[in-house]
């Protein structure tokens, strides 16, 4: 029996030493041999960079030695790499964005237009105006450039894929409701267990559950981005300003650079708030919801036996109601935060994008042979 020939796919990782980027490199190193043998994908990391360093080798970097290969970031060299990615010729390539950077998200359009796949754990690009979101979707379709971002909502929980499947079969979504923030889910579980707000927040940061700036979580900025992504995938044409947001703590919004100075006040505030909820048989939940009436994010005191209120720390849960599934909605849940689980979801997106590029490349070769 003939040996399967693996298709080479080049990878460029942005966010090399971040928690998700580091976890992804470890997971890719473990899985690359199996993917070559069983999936026919020969994945080569040819460049990896972050704000401080850059490593590249067109023959492929040793995944175990990437950090040792990093050199201080040379802007001329980086611009040359980014220009190379914006050219349509060359090996099939997937750019992986494990940052929270607007500057990196700004590049997606040119990469997609060049036929490069883009895999994003970064929510920034998809949380901009609706026209910008539609542009990226159109570029992906027009240029055969896979654009995958499943981990922007729910880490490794498949949520975006099922929403797309509903659209493909013509099943209209009427409402999406969920606990979409693993960091806030963790905080609330620890608060109801009797932990102080400041200790719970320190634990969430230590575990890598929060955004690089935890204020993004506490203002519910990060949660609003997630809801925008889900809303648009569900067919609701909403703009960022259409999302009504109540922050997790008010000081994160009113004093964005000084909210940590208010942690003692938050400890007392949350002790009283949790005690009141317990006395009523309720638990606080940070709930996000979108339907025809709009998009909303707010803390709600739900009955203790509500599926949303009974979540373990760090878990996400999404309920999708459709015209066919109203009395018995679709529920999707699982771990919603953490570098390792997010990296696993990113690798799934990388494999999916690589398969799409490999199939396109094989088809182009077949057309070339037929034309000859």
pLDDT value at 3 more than 60: no
Share of the chain above pLDDT 90, in %: 80
Selecting among 148, 192, 219, 226, the annotated active-site residue is 226
Mean pLDDT in the chain?
Answer: 92
Q: Edge to edge, what strands does the sheet with 41-49 contain?
A: 71-72, 53-56, 41-49, 7-14, 93-97, 117-120, 147-148
Length reported for the chain: 372
286-304 pLDDT, tens digit each: 999 999 999 999 999 999 9
Active site residue 123: no
| Distance, CA of 63 to CA of 65 (rounded, Å) | 5
Question: 3-state class of 70 per DSSP?
Answer: coil
For the stretch 162-195, what's the b/e string if a residue is b when 16 or more beta carbons lie within 10 angstroms of its beta carbon? Answer: ebeebeeeeeebbbbbbbbbbbbbbbbbbbbeeb
Which spans in the chain are helix H?
Answer: 19-34, 66-69, 75-85, 102-105, 108-113, 130-143, 160-168, 182-192, 197-206, 215-218, 221-233, 250-254, 263-279, 339-371
Beta strand pairing status for 243-245 and 294-303? parallel
| Distance, CA of 49 to CA of 47 (rounded, Å) | 7
Q: pTM, whole model, 2 decimals?
A: 0.91
Q: Is the dihedral of CA 134, 139, 144, 150 positive or negative?
A: negative
CB 251 within 8 A of CB 259: yes
CB 315 within 8 A of CB 335: yes
In this structure, how many other beta carbons lie within 10 angstroms of the beta carbon of residue 145? 27
Nearest to 21 by CA among 353, 349, 346: 346
56-84 pLDDT, tens digit each: 998 899 998 999 999 999 889 888 888 88
CB 45 within 8 A of CB 61: yes
Q: Answer left, alpha or beta for residue 155, where phi above 0 means left and psi between -120 and 50 means alpha.
A: left
Beta strand pairing status for 173-179 and 315-322? antiparallel
Mean pLDDT of 125-145: 97
At 176, is the pLDDT very low, low, confident or very high (cuts 50, 70, 90)?
A: very high
Share of the chain above pLDDT 70, in %: 97
The pLDDT value given to residue 2: 45
Residue with more model confidence, 90 or 171: 171
The pLDDT value given to residue 369: 62
Residue with more model confidence, 161 or 88: 161
The pLDDT value given to residue 1: 38
| Distance, CA of 102 to CA of 342 (rounded, Å) | 20
302-357 pLDDT, tens digit each: 999 999 999 988 889 999 999 998 778 999 998 877 899 999 999 999 999 999 99
The pLDDT value given to residue 18: 93
Pair of tokens at residue 167: 């659209």
């Amino acid at each position: 029996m003939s040996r399967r020939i693996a298709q080479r796919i080049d990878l460029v990782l942005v966010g090399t030493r971040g928690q998700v980027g580091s976890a992804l490199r470890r997971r890719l190193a473990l899985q690359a041999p199996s993917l070559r043998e069983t999936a026919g994908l020969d994945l080569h990391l040819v460049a990896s960079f972050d704000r401080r360093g850059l490593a590249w080798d067109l023959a492929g970097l040793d995944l175990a030695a990437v950090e040792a290969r990093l050199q201080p970031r040379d802007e001329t060299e980086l611009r040359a790499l980014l220009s190379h990615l914006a050219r349509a010729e060359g090996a099939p390539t997937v750019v992986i964005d494990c940052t929270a950077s607007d500057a990196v998200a700004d590049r997606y359009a040119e990469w997609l237009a060049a036929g490069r796949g883009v895999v994003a754990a970064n929510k920034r690009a998809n949380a901009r105006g609706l026209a910008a979101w539609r542009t990226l979707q159109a570029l992906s379709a027009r240029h055969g450039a896979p654009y995958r971002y499943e981990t922007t909502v729910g880490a490794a929980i498949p949520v975006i894929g099922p929403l797309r499947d509903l659209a493909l079969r013509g099943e209209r979504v009427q409402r999406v409701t969920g606990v979409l923030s693993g960091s806030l889910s963790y905080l609330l579980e620890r608060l109801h267990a009797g932990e102080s707000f400041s200790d719970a927040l320190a634990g969430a940061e230590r575990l890598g559950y929060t955004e690089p700036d935890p204020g993004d979580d506490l203002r519910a900025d990060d949660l609003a981005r997630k809801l925008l992504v889900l809303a648009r995938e569900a067919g609701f044409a909403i703009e960022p300003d259409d999302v009504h947001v109540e922050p997790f703590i008010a000081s994160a919004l009113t004093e964005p650079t000084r909210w940590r100075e208010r942690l003692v006040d938050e400890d007392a505030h949350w002790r009283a708030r949790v005690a009141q909820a317990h006395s009523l048989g309720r638990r606080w939940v940070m709930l996000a919801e979108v339907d025809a009436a709009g998009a909303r994010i707010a803390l709600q005191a739900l009955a203790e036996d509500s599926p949303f209120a009974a979540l373990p720390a760090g878990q996400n849960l999404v309920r999708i109601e459709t015209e066919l599934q109203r009395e018995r909605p679709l529920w999707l849940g699982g771990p919603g935060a953490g570098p390792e689980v997010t990296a696993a979801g990113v690798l799934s997106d990388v494999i999916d994008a690589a398969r799409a590029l490999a199939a396109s490349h094989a088809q182009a070769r077949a057309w070339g042979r037929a034309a000859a």
